[in-house]
Chain A
Amino acid sequence: MNRAVALYDLTIHTSIDLMRRGKLTSVELTQAVLNRIVEVENQVQAYLTLAPEWALDQAQQADERRARGQDAPLLGVPLAIKDVLCVEGLPCTCGSRILEEFVPPYTATAVERLREAGAVILGKTNTDEYAMGSSTENSAYFTTHNPWDLSRVPGGSSGGSAAAVAAGMALGALGTDTGGSVRQPASLCGVVGLKPSYGRVSRYGLVAFASSLDQVGPFARTVRDAAMLLSVIAGHDSHDSTSMPLPVPDYVGALNTNGLNGLRVGVPREYFIPGMQPEVAEAVRAAIEVMRGLGADIKQVRLPHTDYGLPVYYLIAPAEASANLARYDGVRYGLRVDAPEGMWETYRQTRGAGFGSEVKRRIMLGTYALSAGYYDAYYLKAQQVRTLIKSDFDAAFREVDVIASPTAPTTAFKIGEKVDDPLQMYLSDVFTLACNLAGICGISLPCGFDGEGLPIGLQIMGPAFGEESILRVAHAYEQATEWHTYRPQIPMNSETSSINEDDE
Chain B
Amino acid sequence: MKLTLAEVEHIAELARLSLSDDEKTLYQEQLSAILEYAERLQALDTSAIPPTATVLPLRSVTRADEPRDSMSREDVLANAPQVEADSFRVQAVMD
Asked if chains A and B come from one complex, the reply is yes
Say yes or no: is B85 at the interface (Cβ < 8 Å to chain A): no
Q: Which of A105, A307, A335, A351 contacts B78 (CB 8 A)?
A: A105
Task: Decide: B27 and A360 in contact? CB cutoff 8 A.
Answer: yes
Q: Which residues of B contact A241 (CB under 8 A)?
A: 58, 61
Q: Which residues of A contact B84 (CB under 8 A)?
A: none
Q: Interface 1/0s, chain A 381-423, versus B by CB < 8 A?
A: 1111111101000000000000000000000000000000011
Q: Please provide the chain B residues from 10 to 59 with a CB less than 8 Å away from any CB of chain A in the complex.
A: 11-12, 14-19, 23, 27, 30-31, 33-35, 37-38, 40-42, 44, 46, 49-56, 58
Q: Which residues of A contact B3 (CB under 8 A)?
A: 368
CA distance A346 to B89 in the complex (A): 13
CA distance A448 to B63 in the complex (A): 48
CA distance A330 to B17 in the complex (A): 13
What is the minimal beta-carbon distance from B24 to any residue of chain A, in angstroms? 10
Task: Decide: B15 and A322 in contact? CB cutoff 8 A.
Answer: yes
Q: Which of A361, A377, A383 contacts B51 (CB 8 A)?
A: A383
Q: Which residues of B contact A371 (CB under 8 A)?
A: 11, 14
CB-nearest residue of chain A to B47: A384
Chain B interface mostly: loop
Q: Which residues of A contact B52 (CB under 8 A)?
A: 383-384, 386-387, 390, 437
B contact residues, range: 35 or more
Q: Which of B41, B51, B56 contacts A439 (CB 8 A)?
A: B56
Say yes or no: is B80 at the interface (Cβ < 8 Å to chain A): yes
Q: Which residues of B contact A390 (CB under 8 A)?
A: 52, 55
Task: Decide: B41 and A382 in contact? CB cutoff 8 A.
Answer: yes
Task: Decide: A360 and B17 in contact? CB cutoff 8 A.
Answer: yes
Most buried by A among B31, B37, B41: B41
Say yes or no: is A367 at the interface (Cβ < 8 Å to chain B): yes
A contact residues, range: 35 or more
Task: Decide: A342 and B95 in contact? CB cutoff 8 A.
Answer: yes
Q: Which of A331, A344, A385 contacts B90 (CB 8 A)?
A: A331
CB-nearest residue of chain B to A101: B79
CA distance A343 to B92 in the complex (A): 7
What is the minimal beta-carbon distance from B93 to any residue of chain A, in angstroms? 6
Say yes or no: is A464 at the interface (Cβ < 8 Å to chain B): yes
What is the minimal beta-carbon distance from A230 to any residue of chain B, in angstroms? 19
Say yes or no: is A278 at the interface (Cβ < 8 Å to chain B): no
Task: Decide: A330 and B31 in contact? CB cutoff 8 A.
Answer: no
Task: Decide: A344 and B16 in contact? CB cutoff 8 A.
Answer: yes
CA distance A353 to B78 in the complex (A): 22
What is the minimal beta-carbon distance from B82 to any residue of chain A, in angstroms? 7
Q: List 20 A-B contacts (CB under 8 A).
A: A101-B79, A105-B71, A106-B71, A238-B63, A314-B34, A333-B79, A334-B81, A336-B81, A342-B95, A349-B18, A360-B27, A363-B17, A365-B34, A371-B14, A378-B38, A384-B50, A387-B51, A387-B52, A422-B33, A439-B55
A interface vs B, CB < 8 Å?
A: 101-106, 198-199, 212, 238, 241-242, 244, 305, 307-308, 310-312, 314-315, 322, 326, 329-336, 338, 342-349, 351-353, 355, 357, 360-361, 363-365, 367-368, 371, 377-378, 380-388, 390, 422-423, 437-439, 464
Given contacts A244-B56, A315-B38, A363-B17, 15 further A-B contacts (CB under 8 A): A105-B79, A198-B54, A199-B58, A314-B34, A314-B37, A314-B38, A332-B80, A338-B91, A348-B18, A360-B23, A367-B11, A368-B3, A381-B41, A422-B30, A423-B33
B interface vs A, CB < 8 Å?
A: 3, 7-8, 11-12, 14-19, 23, 27, 30-31, 33-35, 37-38, 40-42, 44, 46, 49-56, 58, 61, 63, 71, 75-76, 78-82, 88, 90-93, 95
